[in-house]
């Protein structure tokens, strides 16, 4: 924002900032439509079905048809609900899901807000996201949504603890909470990505990849639980809770919940890319200093997008292949396995930073 105001003046800077946010939002929503189609296609392929294949060539317009169907359907509000909170819940979920993307860099300099505390902001916004689900379940005045909201709150809080400690290991390596700095620290080739921690081995002889590879796995699994994805979709267990916290929702409010949920899923794919797999950095670094600005940045954006799509594919495969956990298994995994393991990893990475990198 400050750069825009400096270049274009106050009103011109505000207009440019609004255009930047609008462009980012439109690209994100269109990408989400095709990723949702990909999710359905992968699930269908695993079950040896065709999946959506009627609306548009190869079913490419199916997500847009579903969008218009939800928008034009009548909004049915059941009797007995808390109407203000019932309407607020999906709006809160959507707004917080979009707000989280404000600090995500998709190429060098291509970020809405390049905050020095970007990780802290992201963690705060993702933590607030649980309120949309809790409010929606409580305001529905129905026992199934309320039980699902309680489940979701406990589940998201539990796995945010382990996600937080895993992020601390990355923060120690980068020495910054700025997501762009974290990505730049992984430049130079895939061996420098945090998942392999190649610099620790090459420069100091510490095999920190033995710590960071398990941390990457824990982050990925915790991201599944954080976003209520199978096998951790206990908040939406149709065999137990009908449709979970959104049972009493229909039409546009239901659509807002779904958009918010998938935005959070894609966000976790982007965070896996940024924190562990080099962000926009290609596996083999090329000298792009002589390239035109747009070409070089599109090159980096291409690699970021490819990685995000790959991890979304992994999310879809987990959904298609794994059975649902019991709730006690879900809690045991988070508190008795992931939490102690991530704590030990923080201690090991801290020891490397103190005695290895600086020794």
CA atoms of 222 and 322, how far apart (whole Å): 15
CB contact set of 65 (below 8 Å; sequence gap of 6+): 55
Average pLDDT, integer, range 301-323: 92
pLDDT at 241 over 60: no
Average pLDDT, integer, range 187-201: 85
- Using one digit for the tens of pLDDT, what is the confidence trace for 4-19? 555 555 666 677 778 8
Domain coordinates of the chain in residue numbers?
A: 1-72, 79-357
Query: What confidence category does residue 243 fall into, taking pLDDT thresholds of 50, 70 and 90?
Result: low
pLDDT at 320 over 90: no
Confidence (pLDDT) at 53: 86
Query: What confidence category does residue 326 fall into, taking pLDDT thresholds of 50, 70 and 90?
Result: confident
Q: What is the pTM of this model?
A: 0.90
> Quick one: tokens of 206?
């510490």
Residue with the larger pLDDT of the pair 59 and 268: 268
User: DSSP letter at 193?
Assistant: S
Mean pLDDT taken over the chain: 85
Counting residues of the chain whose pLDDT is more than 90, the rounded percentage is: 27
User: DSSP letter at 107?
Assistant: B
pLDDT at 260 over 60: yes
Q: 10 Å Cβ neighbour count for 80?
A: 10
- Using one digit for the tens of pLDDT, what is the confidence trace for 61-77? 888 998 888 888 888 88
């Amino acid at each position: 924002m400050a750069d825009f105001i400096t270049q274009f003046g106050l009103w011109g800077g505000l207009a440019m900032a609004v255009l930047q946010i609008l462009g980012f939002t439109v690209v994100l929503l269109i990408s989400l439509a095709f990723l949702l189609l990909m999710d359905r296609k992968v699930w269908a392929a695993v079950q040896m079905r065709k999946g959506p294949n009627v609306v548009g060539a190869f079913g490419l317009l199916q997500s847009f048809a579903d969008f218009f169907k939800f928008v034009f359907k009548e909004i049915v509000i059941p009797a007995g609900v808390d109407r203000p909170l019932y309407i607020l819940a999906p709006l809160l979920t959507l707004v917080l899901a979009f707000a989280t993307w404000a600090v995500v860099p998709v190429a060098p300099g291509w970020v809405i807000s390049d905050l020095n505390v970007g990780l802290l902001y992201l963690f705060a916004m993702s933590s607030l996201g649980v309120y949309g689900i809790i409010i929606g379940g409580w305001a529905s005045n129905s026992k199934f949504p309320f039980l699902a909201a309680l489940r979701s709150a406990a589940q998201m809080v539990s796995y945010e603890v382990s996600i937080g400690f895993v992020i601390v290991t990355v923060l120690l390596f980068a020495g910054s909470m700025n997501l762009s700095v974290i990505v730049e620290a992984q430049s130079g080739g895939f061996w420098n990505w945090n998942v392999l921690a190649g610099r620790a081995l090459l420069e100091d002889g510490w095999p920190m990849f033995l710590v960071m590879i398990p941390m990457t796995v824990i982050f990925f699994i915790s991201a599944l639980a954080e976003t209520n994805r199978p096998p951790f979709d206990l908040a939406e267990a149709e065999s137990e809770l009908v449709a979970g916290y959104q049972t009493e929702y229909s039409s546009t409010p239901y659509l807002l919940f779904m958009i918010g949920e998938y935005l959070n899923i894609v966000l976790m794919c982007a965070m896996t890319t940024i924190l562990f797999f080099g962000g926009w950095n290609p596996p083999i670094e090329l000298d792009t200093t002589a390239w035109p600005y747009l070409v070089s940045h599109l090159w980096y954006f291409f690699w970021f997008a490819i990685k995000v799509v790959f991890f979304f594919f992994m999310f879809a495969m987990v959904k298609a292949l794994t059975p649902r956990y019991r709730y006690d298994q879900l809690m045991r995994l988070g508190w008795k396995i992931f939490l102690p393991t991530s704590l030990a990893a923080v201690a090991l990475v801290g020891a490397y930073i103190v005695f290895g990198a600086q020794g």
